């Protein structure tokens, strides 16, 4: 066997690490696999992440935050910026474990004039100065649009984005200096083309039902992997 045909040891190590991270997410109850799941979009898939459950186990969150911090330990960081309140627990754990002892701030998301916007509370805007080194932290990166809006925002304030740390990144998303504990995409199917439906596998509607129970039906939920 030639060296090229052998698997790169770093790639193997990454694969093993990713499996461990997936197992941790599974143990929090956030990650569901090998199922036939109805998504809020109406499409079907085999895997699903329940975002809100990701950080329910403090020791797991601390462990995962430390892994992200270790990756970025080689770069000085003044501030960890959470993409929103949801990723704040993870951001805290990353900041706590980073040798630079960065502070933690968060952005807020909203709609304005029909367009998605992100902003920083004014108290935080005062903290971001020219040359402030910022590490962004997100839980799930699905399209990267929130991150790109936040990067533009802090760069306009003169800050430098050191990198992006996240729990899960859909592999279709291209971003600079991103480190994710899990990089994984899974296929979604239209119901009439779904191979699981074709096999007659029962459809799990649990995640959609729960959302409907919580919210008025007229509210459109953004698509989550
Ligand atoms: Zn199906």
User: SS in 3 state form for 15-45?
Assistant: HHHHHHHHHHHHHCCCEECCCCEECCCCCEE
How do beta strands 37-38 and 44-45 pair? antiparallel
Nearest C-alpha neighbor of 48 from the set 66, 26, 71, 20: 26
Cα-to-centroid distance, 64 and ligand 1 (Å) = 32
Distance CA 31, CA 182 (A): 12
Distance CA 10, CA 196 (A): 34
Cα-to-centroid distance, 205 and ligand 1 (Å) = 11
pLDDT at 85: 84
- Which strands, in side-by-side order, build the sheet including 188-189? 37-38, 44-45, 188-189
pLDDT at 84: 87
Cα-to-centroid distance, 200 and ligand 1 (Å) = 8
CA–CA–CA angle 13, 17, 19 (5° rounding) = 120
Cα-to-centroid distance, 37 and ligand 1 (Å) = 7
Cα-to-centroid distance, 194 and ligand 1 (Å) = 4
pLDDT digits (tens, 9 = 90+) for 82-109: 998 889 999 999 999 999 999 999 999 8
pLDDT digits (tens, 9 = 90+) for 37-56: 998 889 999 998 888 899 99
pLDDT band for position 224 (cuts 50, 70, 90): low
C-alpha to C-alpha distances, 1 to 9, 179, 187, nearest whole angstrom: 15, 32, 33
Cα-to-centroid distance, 165 and ligand 1 (Å) = 33
* Per-residue DSSP letter, 140: E
Cα-to-centroid distance, 192 and ligand 1 (Å) = 8
Cα-to-centroid distance, 196 and ligand 1 (Å) = 5
Cα-to-centroid distance, 32 and ligand 1 (Å) = 15
Cα-to-centroid distance, 144 and ligand 1 (Å) = 27
Cα-to-centroid distance, 26 and ligand 1 (Å) = 22
Distance CA 72, CA 163 (A): 8
Contact present, 88 and 121 (Cβ < 8 Å) = no
pLDDT digits (tens, 9 = 90+) for 135-183: 999 998 888 888 999 999 999 999 999 999 999 888 777 888 999 999 8
Cα-to-centroid distance, 124 and ligand 1 (Å) = 45
For residue 222, is pLDDT > 70? no
Nearest C-alpha neighbor of 184 from the set 47, 20, 62, 30: 47
Cα-to-centroid distance, 49 and ligand 1 (Å) = 17
Cα-to-centroid distance, 189 and ligand 1 (Å) = 7
CA–CA–CA angle 57, 213, 167 (5° rounding) = 30
Average pLDDT on 189-214 reads: 87
């Amino acid at each position: 066997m030639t060296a090229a045909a052998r698997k790169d040891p770093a790639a193997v190590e990454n694969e093993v690490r990713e499996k461990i991270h997936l197992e941790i997410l599974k143990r929090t109850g956030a990650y569901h696999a090998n199922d036939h799941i109805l998504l809020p979009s109406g499409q079907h898939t085999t895997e699903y992440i329940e975002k809100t459950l990701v950080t329910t186990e403090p020791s797991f969150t601390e462990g995962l935050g430390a892994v992200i911090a270790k990756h970025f330990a080689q770069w000085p960081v003044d501030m960890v910026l959470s993409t929103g309140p949801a990723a704040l627990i993870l951001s805290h754990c990353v900041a706590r474990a980073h040798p630079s002892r960065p502070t933690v701030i968060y952005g807020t998301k909203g709609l304005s004039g029909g367009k998605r916007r992100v902003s920083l509370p004014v108290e935080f805007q005062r903290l971001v100065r020219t040359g402030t080194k910022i590490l962004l932290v997100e839980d799930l990166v699905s399209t990267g649009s929130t991150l790109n809006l936040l990067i533009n925002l802090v760069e306009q304030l003169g800050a430098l984005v050191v990198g992006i740390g996240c729990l899960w990144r859909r592999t279709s998303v291209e971003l600079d200096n991103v480190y994710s504990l899990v990089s994984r995409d899974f296929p979604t199917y239209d119901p009439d083309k779904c191979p699981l439906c074709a096999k007659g596998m029962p459809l799990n509607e649990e995640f959609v039902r729960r959302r409907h129970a919580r919210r008025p039906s007229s509210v459109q939920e953004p698509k989550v992997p």
